[in-house]
Amino acid sequence: MSSDARTGPAPRPTGPLSTIDYNERIPNNVGLAGDRRLQRALEGWQPKFLDWWKQLGPALPTKDVYLRTAVAVGRDGWAHFAHVPMEEYRWGIFLAERDPDRVVNFGKHKGEPAWQEVPGEHRAALMRLIVIQGDTEPASVEQQRVLGNTAPSIYDLRNLFQVNVEEGRHLWAMVYLLHAYFGREGRDEAEQLLKRNSGDPDAPRILGAFNEATTDWLQFFMFTYFTDRDGKYQLGTLKESAFDPLARTCQFMLKEEAHHMFVGTTGVQRTVERTAAVMHEHGTADTLPYGAIPLAIIQKYLNFQFSVSMDLFGSEQSTNAGNYYSSGLKGRWMETRRKDDHVLLDATREMNHVADGEIRTRTVPMLSALNLDLRDEYMSDCANGVKRWNQALADAGLPDRLLLPHEGFNRKVGVYAGHRVSPEGRVLDDAAWAAGVDDWLPSDADRAAVASLMVPEYEYGKFAGWIAPPRTGINDQPVEFDYVHLAEEGLV
Ligand SMILES: [Fe+2]
Ligand SMILES: [Fe+2]
């Protein structure tokens, strides 16, 4: 069943366009100049953010980058493109337009006016949700820090940096909420967001997938496809929140997030296109000697990134998730378009679990299984890209196909944790898993093979041999446009 059949047509957007104040040190559309205390607190955090960016942001020295910057939060013409030095990017605070008539759309407060302040009873839970979301944003910048050194083209390098500056802005979005609505505790949490670092053994990022190293560009594309998409779905639930400032923040972040997933979808597609062309030309699946990533390795990267991203949704059954819903903190994906009572007290659903060496289903209360509800939406969305990549294989006249693994494959969280499930969904014993795992997940040798192809290509309009060029450039510019000026250019 398509998402539309389940949820009905999209609602009509409301509200006028509001412009962003760029005269301020911190660009914003939240009237920061009218709240001196908050402004001072955020201006105190700003240099710490910039220090973090210099230390753990992109490592490759650049003069400037063709970046988009938000200039309005309405539907059209919201962004402006120009070459800017990255450290001078105008990170700011942008919330979607306020709808003065907005009400809570689900849970026990359904029909009441949306909250403009944090209710005392939900303060701790809301702050936790904001901290967890905020923690992922700078984490991905840290994970991708050295990728610029092996960029397959200047076009791709620009896209990496665009994603990086926007994840930095998403951190700003969450820090604004912490500073504006959670007092001293919120300010302390904002400090911690810069002190935890991806992969740091003493102070790691909160969620597992954000402590994995992004070793190469294939993994980066898989990350932006699968893990940024997790972000999209988490933001989609927070965008429904009864706490209006959080809802409006997430609504605008989703607009930026679309580009990140575009980078992933097209990045994997271009990788597959190149591999398919080499397979076709040389009549072999062993494309490595011809400089293209073998399809089997692409499949293993896909399996890995999909499974660690599925873990980000948490346990299928969660009392917290049910409570967040009933109290209005976090809705469902497309909440207002769902055709049910939006309270869910009597609703049930089927849930998979593993028993006696096989996957069975049982009926559980819907309210207890909202993490699963979101993960199902995510999973069906993930399948769309795989379909697109397979079209590239079909177009090249090849019978090979990529597959989205079973939801139970390689899982560390929830009902499948502790079980061994093959990509096809068979429950395995340890011996069968050990025999197959090298065919399913990237080995050190696979990662080394991919790494051997990761040579930088910084000449405008040229592309590394393992990836096909894109069909079009960014913002109607040609593919060979000078999207990035490297720092070295000035020295030559
Ligand atoms: Fe983000
Ligand atoms: Fe993102």
Q: Model's pTM, two decimal places?
A: 0.94
Following DSSP, what letter does each residue of 308-369 receive, concatenated?
A: HHHHTT--SS-HHHHHHHHTTSS--TTGGG-SS-SS-SS-EEEEEEEETTEEEEEEEEGGGG
Q: What is the pLDDT of residue 14?
A: 37
Distance 179 CA to ligand 1 centre (A): 19
Per-residue pLDDT band for 71 (boundaries 50, 70, 90) equals: confident
Q: What is the pLDDT of residue 5?
A: 43
Q: How sure is the predictor about 480, in pLDDT bands with cuts at 50, 70 and 90? A: very high
Percentage of the chain lying above the pLDDT 90 cut: 87
Give the CA angle between residues 171, 174, 180 to the nearest 5°.
135
User: What pLDDT, on the 0 to 100 scale, is given for residue 492?
Assistant: 40
Q: Alpha-carbon distance 247 to 129, whole Å? A: 12
Ligand 2 mean position to 290 CA, how many Å? 33
Give the pLDDT score at 489: 57
State the Cα torsion 375-312-333-402 to the nearest 10°. Answer: -50
What is residue 24's predicted lDDT score, i.e. its pLDDT? Answer: 76
CA of 277 from ligand 1 middle (Å) equals: 34
Please give the Cα distance from 30 to 42 (Å, whole number).
13
| pLDDT surpasses 50 at 6 | no
Distance 307 CA to ligand 2 centre (A): 18
Cα 483 from Cα 460, distance rounded (Å): 8
Residue 292 has what pLDDT? 98
Backbone angles phi, psi at 478, to 5 degrees: -70, 160
> 436 pLDDT exceeds 50?
yes
How does residue 2 score in pLDDT terms, banded at 50, 70 and 90? Answer: very low
For the record, the structure tokens of 115 come out as 């909250």
Span 215-230, average pLDDT: 96
- pLDDT value of position 22: 67
Average pLDDT of 423-452? 97
Centre of ligand 2 to C-alpha 136, Å, is 9
For residue 208, what pLDDT band results from cuts at 50, 70 and 90?
confident
d(CA 87, CA 63): 10
**Max Cα-Cα span within the chain:** 70
- Residue 73: which pLDDT band, with cuts at 50, 70 and 90? confident
CA angle centred on 132, ends 130 and 133, rounded to 5°: 65
- The sign one gets for the Cα dihedral 137, 143, 147, 148 is positive
What is the model's pLDDT at position 488? 73
Ligand 1 ion: residues within 5 Å (CB): 137, 167, 170
Q: Which two tokens stand for residue 127?
A: 């702050």
Does the structure show a pLDDT above 80 at 405?
A: yes
Predicted confidence (pLDDT) at residue 391 exceeds the cutoff of 90: yes
The Cα-based distances of 107 to 122, 243, 270, 325 in angstroms read 14, 13, 44, 6
> How many beta carbons lie within 10 A of that of residue 233, not counting itself?
18
Query: Is the per-residue pLDDT at 84 higher than 80?
Result: yes
Rg, the chain, Cα only: 23
Instruction: List pLDDT tens digits, range 23-47.
Output: 678 888 898 989 999 999 999 999 9
**Per-chain mean pLDDT for the chain:** 93
Contact 336, 352 (CB under 8 A): no
> Rounded to the nearest whole angstrom, what is the distance from the C-alpha of residue 253 to the centroid of ligand 1?
7
Lowest mean pLDDT among 5-9, 147-151, 221-225, 255-259: 5-9
pLDDT-derived band at 76 (thresholds 50, 70, 90) equals low
Residues 6+ apart with CB under 8 A from 265: 225, 385, 388
